[in-house]
Amino acid sequence: MILGSWGSMLKTGMPGNLVQCYRLAQSRVFFSPQQVYNFIYYLQYYESVSCMTTTTLEKPDIKIRKYSVLLFRLFIFFGLVGALGIPNGIGLADQPRMVLADAVVCESISNFRPVNPAVVFSVSQGEVFCFSEFDPVYEKTAIFHNWYKRDKLIFSMRLVLSVPKWSSFSRVQMRDADKGPWRVEIRDEDDTLLKTLRFSMSD
């Protein structure tokens, strides 16, 4: 679909569309080998139309001509990089909105960093924290910390992430009745599981 848009713009012969094409190339839209072949065909078609237009109507501008050739080469380069370096079917829509860099269950949070991460905690401390760090964050989005005691959902917190990186945490208060196995599932807005943290509460 993107290639079709490029072909339509190139056929118009309008210089303004060259800039728009270049911006699309910078967005790293990737192509299959067949798409690259079609793309080069459209570029050659546009170049031939441009030559006929400048020859017929006015004296060609050498500087503009050089910039046009440079843009053609850049288009071909980005297309080939995408076709050869990225598997078919992968594009911008498949890129993650963020990357989970670190996640732990800990005793407390100090200066936005986890303190005493562990897998066993005493109920006497009164509360437990789940810390998660995302780096990078490509766009504003949200995640969820879902706290389970055994297999029962006890608490869920929605946390908003902002670019370019973001740390977040949630916490649950603990009582004597909360002894036993726990887990925290970190999920994105699409309910995709990013990580599971398991821990236990004891005396």
Write the pLDDT tens digit of every residue in 41-53: 555 555 554 444 4
Handedness of CA 129, 113, 199, 160 (dihedral sign): positive
Q: What are the residue boundaries of the structural domains of the chain, listed by start?
A: 2-94, 98-202
Query: What are 185's strand-pairing partners?
Result: 146, 196
The total of other beta-carbon atoms located within 10 Å of residue 39's CB is 24
Strands annotated E in the chain: 98-110, 113-117, 120-122, 127-137, 141-149, 152-161, 166-173, 180-188, 193-202
Q: Which CATH architecture has domain 98-202?
A: Sandwich (2.60)
pLDDT at 95: 79
pLDDT digits (tens, 9 = 90+) for 62-112: 555 565 666 666 655 555 445 445 444 444 456 789 999 999 999 999 999
Question: Where residue 31 falls among pLDDT bands split at 50, 70, 90?
Answer: very low
pLDDT at 18: 43
Res. 135: pLDDT tops 80 = yes
Residue with tokens 């080939």: 80
Res. 127: pLDDT tops 60 = yes
Q: What is the rounded average pLDDT of the residues 152-179?
A: 97
Contacts of 131 (CB under 8 A, 6+ apart): 102, 103, 104, 105, 106, 109, 113, 114, 117, 167, 168, 169
> Is the whole model's pTM more than 0.85, yes or no?
no
Tokens (6 digits) for 109:
């949070």
Spatial separation of the C-alpha atoms in residues 118 and 53, rounded to whole Å: 72
